[in-house]
Structures are given as structure tokens and as C-alpha cells.
Amino acid sequence: MPLPSSTVENYLKTIYKAQAAQRDHGRLVPMGHLAQALNVVPGTATTMVKALAESGLVHYEPYAGVRLTPAGEKLAALVLRRHRLIELFLVKVLGMSWAEVHDEAERLEHAASDKLIDRIDNMLGRPATDPHGDPIPDSSGSMVVRDYQTLLTCPLGTPVVLTRVTDQDAAFLRFLEGNSLKPGQKLRIEARDDAADQVVVRGKRDAKITIGMRAAAKLQVAPAEPEG
Amino acid sequence: MPLPSSTVENYLKTIYKAQAAQRDHGRLVPMGHLAQALNVVPGTATTMVKALAESGLVHYEPYAGVRLTPAGEKLAALVLRRHRLIELFLVKVLGMSWAEVHDEAERLEHAASDKLIDRIDNMLGRPATDPHGDPIPDSSGSMVVRDYQTLLTCPLGTPVVLTRVTDQDAAFLRFLEGNSLKPGQKLRIEARDDAADQVVVRGKRDAKITIGMRAAAKLQVAPAEPEG
DNA sequence: GCCCGGGTTTTGAGTGGTCAAAAAACAAAG
DNA sequence: CTTTGTTTTTTGACCACTCAAAACCCGGGC
């Protein structure tokens, strides 16, 4: 049981996220999808996944796909935990922009010890979510998954709070930041227009922001709490 | 010119430190020494060093040893910079013990971006030395090397300040910490006894501390400044 | 039922880093 | 100058990870 290389960690993390993305939790992730997400050629993914299956971290069905075993799931969750705590730390403590912390965390997550991660967790007050609103697993690998609406599915007119952004692309995040679209921000959907592919929202100081529907689908919201 | 792998960085760093340890700056580091320091078999070091020579980072003379080229020296200094800034950061900001930061920094130094390192440097106020008193190279790779006395060579009786500890072993550092022997601490050498292999110093609140001569040689000191 | 195309697996090869063990070079001493 | 012992280099092999390209499987359409 050698401790997993950063390659292994990346495979597990990617499978985990792919599994989470397809709402059915038990469905298999197709090899092609995995290979693409990892930026490797399909054959490489096959080889690697077979090795992961060998060590009991994934369940692999030839020509069908792959799914994490409980062991793999736990490992993946801990990688995600490291990643998200590091991201939050870089933003909160070092003052980095949320648009640039992803790549940094992508490398640091494989180098940080549990001890360090725990100190960070503690210093940040055991936070529940990272700067993008993604939930942070606890040190045992479990986390609360909440099901949010998106700007595409939530009701018009009623006030909502932006809770999560499901895309880490730096340019996209910079765009959001420029429009004060960060988790915690109160919003109201003004209009949706399928034909024009646009969603109009009122944000900070009632500023009007128009975004495309593909982008809107990446913004998750919750009903706004009544004013405190 | 692919960016150096962490293996390459470790080779360069190790050669750099070995070169610094033997006061003659231009002398070659023997392969055996390098291999031992890197915890690899000698043949491995030979192979790797030939590759480094190929890419112009070291000067290699068969059966004689290696020395860094200017390019290699700069790279090594930047690795050292990352390492030491990270160590200081872990101590100052995250409150970790100076005995445990070395291993952590050993891994993080290969994952941290220049941008992150610069933020850390800035947050710490562009410090000159790390928690062990080792000088921190600036972002161009140059640093001020000061030549200190050690507890073995400094004059008896006169007050001195502990400035640098040249051993990163965790157990040794914990021992020092337990006796308040950290850089900045004022000391006075009470006695040295070659036969008994011991050096007696007065430290914090005049506490008497006796240490062996091999240990004493690892503690560097400077003449104490007159009281401010 | 057969074929076709897209996804998947195999195969063969390459890279970076490593070891074990045999071979070669060197230094130092007789 | 030769012998001995230590250090260094070479050789052949291996592991983890990767790719390119050929071979393969499988679900749909006809």
C-alpha cells in the first residue's frame, strides 16, 4: 500500500468530479470522458484505470467505464479537501485572486501534509465551502452535498443568493469578479430569453448584468435569507 | 528548455549546499558525497549528473566530481529561496514548530509558483533569513553570505548572539528549542573542554547548558550588539 | 442479420528516474 | 611498478507514466 502518487490522486479526483457531475451516483464514468478531463490519450486512461482497479480504488468494467470504490472515494474526497482548503487559504490569508488560485492549488494539493492541511483548516475556522462555493470534505472524507438551483432553473423575480460557481476557468472567474458575481452576492433574475440565449440579473447596487445561458447554468443559487 | 523537474531541482540544491559546505567555492563535489546526500546509489548520481551537464547546469569531470555552472547556481539559489521562505512562512504565519517545517518545505518548494513565493516574501517583509538563520536569496538568486564563528571557535566569556543553526534534523532542533537555543538568543561561552567533549554556555536567564562539540560546531554566533 | 462508426483496448515504443552488480579508474602504499 | 582498496562508471534491467496507431468491441441503422 504505497501512498498514492500525484497521478493517482488526479485520476481519483477526476473520476470523483465526473461522478458528481452526472447526477446518478452509481453510474460509470466513460473512459473517453476521463481521458479528456485528464488531458491524456484514451489508451493511457485505460492502462491507468486497470492499475487503479488492481489496487482496489476503482471498479472498472471494460468498454463500459469506471466508478470509485469506497476506498477510492475517500481518497478522492481527501484530495478535494486539500485542494479546496488551499484555495480558500490562498484567497483569505495571502490575498490572491480567486481566479488564480486554482492552478496553484492543483499543484500544492499533492505536496501538503495532513498536518499542514489541518492547521490551515483550523486557522480558517473549519470552513464549509471554498471561494467558489464548493463544499469542503472534513478530515474523514465526508461532506454535505447540497442541491442548488441554477440561474437557469430558479424562479424569476424572487431574490436569491449566489452560492456556487461550477467552473474554475480563470477568464470566466475574472469576468464574474468584475461584475461582483461572487458567492454570497444577492441577486434577482429579471428575465430569461431562450431565443436570445440570455439571462438578465440585477446584482450589486441593482446593476444589470446579462449573461449567456451556458454561463448562467454554472451559477448556482439558493433562496435569499430574509434580511438579518 | 523544459522547466526543471523536482528531481533536477533537488540535485542542484544538493550540489549547491555541498559546495557551500566546503569553503572552497570552486572545488568539485565528489559523486559519492552527492549520491549519499540524495539517498541514491552512486551510479544513479553519475547518470543524472551527466544529463545535467548536457543541459548546461553543471560542470562535470569524470572521476573527479561536479560543480554548478552560473545557470545551475542561479536555479539552485531560487530553489533555496523557495524552501527558506516557505519554512519561515510556516513558522510565522501558521505557527508550526521550526523542527517540523523542513520536511514540509522540502515538498512544497517544488510546487509553489513564483507568484506565490513573492506574495509570501512580501507578507513577511522581505526577510533576510529563515527560522534557522539561513540567508534567503532574493528573487534574482543572489544572497549575502556571512561568515560566522561557531560555539567552537568564538572567544570565551564575551557575549554573543546565536545567528544560525546548520543542521535541520528534527530531534536536534527540538532539543535546541527545549533549551531556548534559537537564532536571536544571547549567549556566553562559559567553558570548553576538549577531553570531555563539551561546551558549556549560559543562555536564557543564565541557564547553564552543556552540549557536545559536534553539536556546538553546528551553532553559529556573532558578537552581541551592545544593549539597545 | 450485417455492417458501420465511434468509443475502447492493445500493442509497441519512449522518457525520466531508479537499482544491482560487473567493470574500470584512481590513489596510496609497499 | 605493482598490488590493494576505494570510488566511480557502465551495463542491463525495471517501474510509472505516457503516446501513436492498429485492433477491437458494441450499439444503431438498414
In the predicted model, is pLDDT for residue A223 greater than 90?
no
Q: Could you say which DSSP state residue A205 is in?
A: G
In the predicted model, is pLDDT for residue B227 greater than 70?
no
> What percent of chain B has pLDDT above 90?
68
pLDDT tens digits, residue range B157-201? 889 999 999 988 889 989 988 899 999 899 999 889 888 899 999
* Residues of chain B (17-36) having a beta carbon less than 7 angstroms from strand D: 30-33, 35
**If phi over 0 gives left and psi between -120 and 50 gives alpha, with beta otherwise, what is residue B19?**
alpha
Q: Is strand D less than 7 A from the beta carbon of A53? A: no
A92 in contact with B, Cβ within 8 Å: no
Can you tell me the distance from the alpha carbon of B120 to that of B142, in angstroms, rounded to the nearest whole number? 18
pLDDT tens digits, residue range B41-86? 999 999 999 999 999 999 999 999 999 999 999 999 999 999 999 9
Is-contact B155 B203, C-beta < 8 A?
A: no
Q: List the domain boundaries for chain A.
A: 6-68, 149-223
In the predicted model, is pLDDT for residue A226 greater than 70?
no
* Closest of A125, A59, A55 to residue A88, by C-alpha: A125
pLDDT tens digits, residue range A107-147? 999 999 999 999 999 999 999 999 999 999 999 999 888 88
Asked if CATH classification 2.30.30.90 holds for the domain at B149-223, the reply, yes or no, is: yes
* DSSP reduced 3-state for A67: strand
* Closest of A170, A159, A158, A172 to residue A217, by C-alpha: A172
Judging contacts by C-beta atoms under 8 Å, the chain B residues touching residue A93 are: 93
User: What pLDDT score does B206 carry?
Assistant: 79
CATH architecture observed for domain A6-68 = Orthogonal Bundle (1.10)
State whether B116 and A104 contact (CB < 8 Å). Answer: yes
B124 in contact with A, Cβ within 8 Å: no
